Amino acid sequence: MVRNSITLHQAAWTGDEATVRTILSRSKVNADTSLALTYAAYKGHDRIVRLLLCREDVNPNATEPNDEATPLLYAARNGHEAVVRLLLGQSGVDVDVNFRSDRGRTPIWWAAAYGHGGIVGMLLSRKDIEPEATDTFSLTPLMIAAKQGHKAVVQLLLDRDDVSPEFRSHHGLTALLLAEYGGHEAIVRLLTNNSRHHRSCRGRSVQDKIAFNKRKDTLARKFLERLDNTVTGGKIAAMTASTGGVRLVWNKNLRTTAGFAKWRKKVKSTGRILRVYACIELSERVVDDDGTVCKSCF
């Protein structure tokens, strides 16, 4: 049993189609055929993948024990278009196109990250695809493609009505900010000129922007107060009362985060805290409307 298993897996990994055919032709195959499929998909051996998909004892959604990834996820990540086409198109094979790895990354997320435009296109053709599925860092396929500089993939995703270029991560990042940070000028122009992005980000009137600038301090302070009361029972306000409370600073240079907090304390030799100084710097580029004050700042 062990010998057959090792042989089948090794043959699938190395692309030895003849050996795979020999083992599969036996009346009883004492091996994990689903794991063999995973190995073949990982390496891009489409002919072996085709052989294994025809078997009833193969689970196309089985995960590799050490990496928690499916054959489709491996093939999409490694750029094996022929294998992805087989997994998506094989009759009677129900593949989970939205399977999430341990960091929440789906096959389309990985394909976008590595710039595999053909695979992104195939996955987008599926009706059950989730094109804006985020990973644990709340980055979408569009955002990671923009960050990595894959213009063709960015264009594919922007052509979808269910993909929003204005989506913000937990830290206030957008596809545009990530493209700017990476120095990908062509993608910056593409995102800026995108009609939906243009309407959303440039459509606000000058009066709207002026009005927001007048009330942004009040909005931020009210939200901080509510957050402090809810989480710490007002301890932050109490600790910083003698130094004027938490100071808010608006920074024009922060481009990839909504903001950050700084604090320091003055302590006596006995260990008693005398004063606490706290400051929160907020990005004027990221926190630019009422919604992002609450969604991205703290």
- pLDDT tens for 131-155 read 999 999 999 999 999 999 999 999 9
- 10 φ, ψ (degrees, to nearest 5): -65, -40
What mean pLDDT value characterizes the chain?
A: 84
Write out pLDDT tens, residues 56-92.
889 999 988 777 899 999 999 999 999 999 999 887 7
Write out pLDDT tens, residues 195-211.
444 444 445 555 666 77
Q: Please determine, for residue 294, whether its predicted confidence score (pLDDT) is greater than 50.
A: no
Of the pLDDT bands very low, low, confident and very high (cuts 50, 70, 90), residue 192 is: confident
What is the model's pLDDT at position 145? 97
Q: Please determine, for residue 249, whether its predicted confidence score (pLDDT) is greater than 90.
A: no
**Domains in the chain, CATH or no CATH each:** 2-202 (1.25.40.20), 206-296 (3.30.2010)
Of the pLDDT bands very low, low, confident and very high (cuts 50, 70, 90), residue 5 is: low
Q: Which of 107-116, 180-189, 255-264 has the lowest mean pLDDT?
A: 255-264
Per the structure block, which two tokens stand in for 218?
């009040």
Write out pLDDT tens, residues 218-231.
888 888 888 888 88
Q: What span, in angstroms and rounded, lies between the C-alpha atoms of 283 and 255?
A: 7
Of the pLDDT bands very low, low, confident and very high (cuts 50, 70, 90), residue 215 is: confident
Q: How many CB atoms lie within 10 A of CB 93?
A: 14
Of the pLDDT bands very low, low, confident and very high (cuts 50, 70, 90), residue 277 is: confident
Residues whose CB is less than 8 angstroms from the CB of residue 157 and which lie 6 or more positions away in sequence, other chains included: 112, 120, 124, 131, 141, 142, 145, 163
Q: Please determine, for residue 33, whether its predicted confidence score (pLDDT) is greater than 60.
A: yes
Widest CA span in the chain? 82
Q: What span, in angstroms and rounded, lies between the C-alpha atoms of 40 and 24?
A: 14
Q: Residue 202, exposed/middle/buried by CB under 10 A (0-12, 13-18, 19+)?
A: exposed
Q: What span, in angstroms and rounded, lies between the C-alpha atoms of 81 and 133?
A: 21
Q: Please determine, for residue 250, whether its predicted confidence score (pLDDT) is greater than 80.
A: yes
What is the model's pLDDT at position 254? 65
Give the DSSP per-residue string, 4-38.
HHHHHHHHHHHT-HHHHHHHHTSS---S-HHHHHH
